[in-house]
Every structure is written in C-alpha cells, then in structure tokens.
Chains A and B, each alone.
Chain A
Amino acid sequence: MGSIELVCPAGSPPMLRAAVEAGADSVYCGLRDETNARNFPGLNFSPAELKEAVALARDHGAKVLVAINTFARAGADEMWRRSVDTAVASGAHAVIVADIGVLSYARQAYPDLRLHLSVQAAANSVEAIGFYAEAFGVKRVVLPRVMTAPEIAALAKETPIELEAFVFGGLCVMAEGRCALSSYATGRSPNLSGVCSPPEAVSFETDENGLTPRLAGVAIDRFGADEAAGYPTLCKGRFEAMGETSYLFEDPVSLNAMTVLRDLRAAGVKAIKVEGRQRGKTYVRRVATAFRGAIDALDRGEDCEPFARMLTDLAEGGRETEGAYRRKWR
C-alpha cells in the first residue's frame, strides 16, 4: 500500500477480482438486498460470495469493506442487523454504515468491529465526526462530496479520525443522505430503499419536441436530435427557473479529482474512493490502474498529471469536474 489507501467499488465478484488485480488496497461491496445504497437488480453479493471475496482479496493483500449504508426501515430493522452479522461472519475488514440505529447495533453486538461512517451520513464537520467517534467508536469517515479541498485539509488537522474522500465517478450534488428528491417523485430514495431515480419509474417519450425522459411521469430533461440522451437521474436533469431552462442543479458531469490528489494526500486524507459499483469490471480495472499509478507516482516524488488523462472517456456524459473541491462550484 502507498501513502494513501485506494478504495475501489465492486458490484459483483468478477468486479472485485478486477479491482484487486489492478491494485486496489480495499474494495467495498454490499449484500444483495436493500441494506446497501446500490440496490440494483443483478448487482451485489450473496453471503457465500462475500466470504469468498474476503478470501480472494486477502490473497492479493487487499481488504473488503461491506457497505450497509441505507437507513433501516421502521419496524423492520432485523434485515440490517442480519447484514451486519453476515459481514462479521465473512471476516470483512470493516462495515460502512450511515444509520445511527445500525451503528448502535453494530457497536453493541460487536465491540471490536471496525466501523466506517458512510458518505450517506454526510458528516462534514469536526463536530459531526466527533459525535460518531464518541458515540459509536467510528474509526473512519467517508466525506460528503460537497466540501472544498481546503475545507478537507482544515478538517484533517482538527480530527484524529481517518478521512476518506471520493475522487472519481458519479457525483451527488446534494449532501448525501440529505436528499429525498427521488422519493418525492417515485416513492423510492437512497435513504428509504437504496436507490435513486429507480429504473422501474423511468420512461422515454419521443415527439416533435424531441426525446423526453420521465421519472414517474415527471419530465426530467428533453433532448434534441443532435444530443445524446442520458439516464434521467433527477438532480442531473434540465428544469426551468425564472423563464430559463438549464441544468439547474448540476451539469451532467462526473467527478475526476486526480488533479487535487496531491492536495488531499498532503492534507493527511487517509484513503481515496472511487464511485461506481454499478459500472462493471472494465471500468474498475481502468480506474484502479490509473489511480494506483498516480499514487505510486506521487510517492516517488513524480507528477500524477499523465494519469489524469487516462480516464476522460469513462465520465458519465463524457464530461468531468473537480466538483466541490474547487470553491467556485458553490
């Protein structure tokens, strides 16, 4: 492992293998149910697959982190407790949790279990992080994607808790876990059911105005004949405000923060994270290879610039942003 831990996504056992072979230090994955925030059909791990994944990762010197990062359903939190039990039984290195109820169970049932705070808890301050550390013994916090690089550096100085920052992939423009736009339109949301803008609510309509993607009947965007249509994620669509139609919340861009990797590393950020459990093994192999190369280059005192260009074509919508890491994003 280099100076900063590379944490990569795995939506399936083949993807996990690709990630560790390409140099990921850790891989995060979820169980095949609504206890994790990528609850898509055909994705995720059975308990037996998770156990095998831990063994395979160990053979490559890598660790498995299990995301149990949705909010348990009132009156039915047994499923979330069982997921924690399954993760512990698999020998995984840590569980990634957002819900205070699940954290509370995990800490009481397994006093030695390593707990990471999920980005879905959106802990963005030394006070919030301090609460989770004091109340539940959280060892690491995954930072929300709404912070600037200097803010992260300031935070790292003030807290002894390990920080993990997203550097690549899809970008939530809202504070993670503090957004119910999806359930407002469809009834399902990341916090309630582990999905955002769920596929069963999507429809496409073509008429003389162009192609209109809809979510539960609500028009999310409209594409002309010369435009490439993307998936209608609610906050990434075009809406009208003050008589003007635009990407009001966020342009359809993906995060690529390799250019601030040096700053994050200097700030003392312990781990960097790649988004995209839904994107497959080719994706994770390429992203892991590029970031492995970049970290190793930085550790040798070299520039990581060449590695940044390796991934441009992978961005959703083909365009990249450094997101909130640069202050003018706000």
Chain B
Amino acid sequence: MSALELTVGPLMFLWSPERIADYYAQVAAAPEVSRVYLGEVVCGKRSPLTVESLLLAEEALTKAGKSVVWASQALPATPREARAVRELAEASALLEVNDVAALACLPKGAAFVAGPMLNLYNESAVRALAARGCQRICANVELSLDAVGAIAKACPDVEIELFAYGRLPLALSGRCYHARAHKAHKDGCLFVCETDPDGMAIRTVDGAPFLAVNGIQTLSHGVHLADADLDRLVAAGVKALRISPHTGDVAAVLAAFGAFVRGELDGAGLRGAVATTRPPGPLINGYLHGRAGMLAVEAL
C-alpha cells in the first residue's frame, strides 16, 4: 500500500492520435497510477482533432482498472467552448473544474475536483467550494507546500493533490501566441501548435530558454518536480501526486514516481531518476518552497 496516490493530469498539448495512444498505453501499464484526467483543457478548437483518441484512451485506461475523470477547459471563450463545458459538466459523474464557468454548469450537489488552473489560494475559498461538492483540489501551482499544508489542515474533508511533475501552467490569454509567432491570428491558426508536443521554446534576448508557449497558454521552460521527501508531503496533507503529460521516457517517469510513492526512493532519489528520463527542461521546484517558480532549490 502506497502512502500517496499517483494520478496523470490532462494533456495540455495538441498531440497526434498516435502519440496520444502510445502515451496512454504506457499509463495504462503503470500499476501505481490510479486516476487519469482526460480532456482538452487549453483550446476548444483542438477538441475535434483529439476527442476520438481520448475516448479510446478512456476505454483502455478503464480496462486497466484506472478511474478516468474528465477535465474542463481552463478559459472557455467562445459560445462553442461554453457549450462544450456545459455538456461535459452535465455528463460527468466527477468533473475536474478548471474555470468558474464549469461550476455554474454542474448539477446541484454534484461532486467535482478543483483543477490547478482554478484560483483557489486559501482555506476559506476551498471551504466555500467544499460546501458545493468539491471533493479534491489539485493545488494551484503558485502555492508553497506550507500553504498547501495550511489548506489541508483547515479542510480535512477535501483531498489534496499536488502538481508533481511537468512544465508549470503559468498563464492563459485570449490571444494565441503560437498563431502570433507564426504571423497568424487565433481564428486562422492552422493548428501550428501541433508542431511543439511540449510547447514552443521561448528564449530571452540572452538566448536562455525561459518559457514555453502552447496556444493561448504559457508554461514554464523548467519542469517542476515536487521532490520533497514522502513523509514531508504526507505531513502536509497531500493525498495524491499528479504527473502532467510530456514526451520523453514516459514509462521511466511513471516508474520513478511508483518507486517514490512506495518509499523506495527519497526526494533526491526521485530527482535523480527523473533527470534521466529526458524531461523537456531542467528540473525546478521553487514554488514548492515559496520561492520563485523557476528556481531549483535543495530538497526539503
């Protein structure tokens, strides 16, 4: 029995059907993963291209004994996107909510998970949503482990999931920066975001990699790793660790986290193991320590 549950977060990028099938086949084969979040959370224009692959993934994951939770879009902006959020909210037994709009669409009293892109920063906000059916939060990535601990302590009935691996979802905009970089607009984007399966590299004028653009979303260049020791995470009230989908050696990332939640690796061991899986950027953890997110701080 592991001290912590492992989950896989929703895919942020526009991947080909082959890449999606391959990724979720590896997730299905990972014994430690108990829950997988599926759904288009960044751009509604992509949904027609990925929905079939995601439904096939749901089938495979369910067969493998994983529970599947659908996730709602982070910044629905068009009537079509609003409709999609409403349909998803009405059809899901348990929805991951990534925008307040989805809260309004949930049937009264329906259980939900508050996703990391929802702005929950304190125990009062979590308590207010718990009264409306929130079972679990995946903490906003800006929160330190201490802040997460304060929320967990004040809200014992709400499960806490921690964004534990992946490029940090930092910002959302009405504007598509992939399209803008390709001298186009969002309405005529030609799905140029498909060329960057981990996001488009953004460098400073010094040439240093800094951010990654994914359509209307901006992510970190660094790959966040929640590498505090297991007992420290458990003491902070963390119930589950979330792995965010990326390219690289997926099976090795899942195996490293599996070993970590079984107590076979400590925080430093996890960092060492994940570093060899070809993550898309250097490993960082500043937010966990209440510092700048881009920093890599010695493990707690």
Any B CB within 8 A of the CB of A191: yes
**Is the C-beta of B20 less than 8 angstroms from some C-beta in chain A?**
no
- Closest residue of chain A to B287 (Cβ to Cβ) is A183
A interface, over-half SS: mixed
What is the distance, in angstroms, from B83's C-beta to the closest C-beta of chain A? 10
Q: Which 5 A-B pairs have the closest CB atoms?
A: A101-B124, A146-B174, A75-B150, A101-B125, A71-B121
A75→B170 CA distance, assembly (Å): 23
B142, B154, B220, most chain A CB atoms within 10 A: B142
Given the complex, which residues of B lie within 8 Å of A212, measured CB to CB?
205-206
> CA–CA, A127 to B104, complex, Å?
6
Q: Which of B166-182 contact A (CB under 8 A)?
A: 168, 170-177, 179-182
The residues of B with any CB-CB pair to A shorter than 8 Å are: 74-77, 79, 82, 85-86, 99-105, 117, 119-129, 132, 141-143, 146-148, 150-151, 154, 168, 170-177, 179-182, 185-187, 200-208, 210-211, 213, 218, 220, 286-287, 290-294
Contact B177 A249 (CB under 8 A): yes
Tell me whether A123 and B168 are in contact in the complex, defined as CB-CB below 8 angstroms, given that A73-B147, A75-B123, A101-B125 are known contacts.
no
Task: Tell which of A16-24, A174-182, A259-267, A282-290 binds the partner.
Answer: A174-182
Tally of contacts, chain A with chain B, CB under 8 A: 217
Q: How far is the CA of A239 from the CA of B203 in the complex (A)?
A: 6
Per-residue B-contact encoding for A117-130, CB less than 8 Å = 1, 0 else: 00001111111101
Q: Which residues does chain B contribute within 8 Å of A246, judged by CB atoms?
A: 181
Inter-subunit contact B125/A99 (CB<8 Å): yes
Q: Is the CB of A74 within 8 A of B206?
A: no
How close is A69's CB to chain B, nearest CB, in angstroms? Answer: 12
Once the chains are docked, how many angstroms separate the CA of A73 from the CA of B172? 22
Complex contacts, B77 vs chain A, CB 8 Å:
124-125, 146-147, 151
Closest to B105 in A: A127
Contacts of A177 in B (CB 8 A): 119
- Contact residues in A for B211 (Cβ distance below 8 Å): 181, 184, 239
Residues from 176 to 233 in A contacting B, C-beta threshold 8 Å: 177-181, 183-187, 189, 191-192, 212, 216, 218-222
Q: Are A248 and B177 in contact (CB under 8 A)?
A: yes
Q: When the two chains form their complex, are residues B121 and A180 in contact, meaning their CB atoms are under 8 A apart?
A: no
Residues A185 and B294 in contact, CB atoms below 8 Å apart: yes
A330 contacts the other chain (Cβ, under 8 Å)?
Answer: yes
Q: Tell me which of A26-34, A42-50, A321-329 binds B.
A: A321-329
Kindly state the separation between the CA atoms of A76 and B168 in the bound complex, as whole angstroms.
25
Question: Is A99 a contact partner of B122 (Cβ separation < 8 A)?
Answer: yes
The residue in chain A whose Cβ has the minimal distance to the Cβ of B204 is A219
Contact A180 B141 (CB under 8 A): yes
Please determine whether B129 and A100 come into contact, CB atoms closer than 8 angstroms: yes
Q: Which residues of B have CB within 8 Å of A220?
A: 204
A184 and B294 in contact, given A135-B132, A249-B177 (Cβ under 8 angstroms): yes
Give the interface centre of B85, B103, B150, B286 by most chain A CB atoms within 10 Å. Answer: B103
Question: How long is the Cα–Cα vector from A204 to B122 in the complex, in angstroms?
Answer: 36
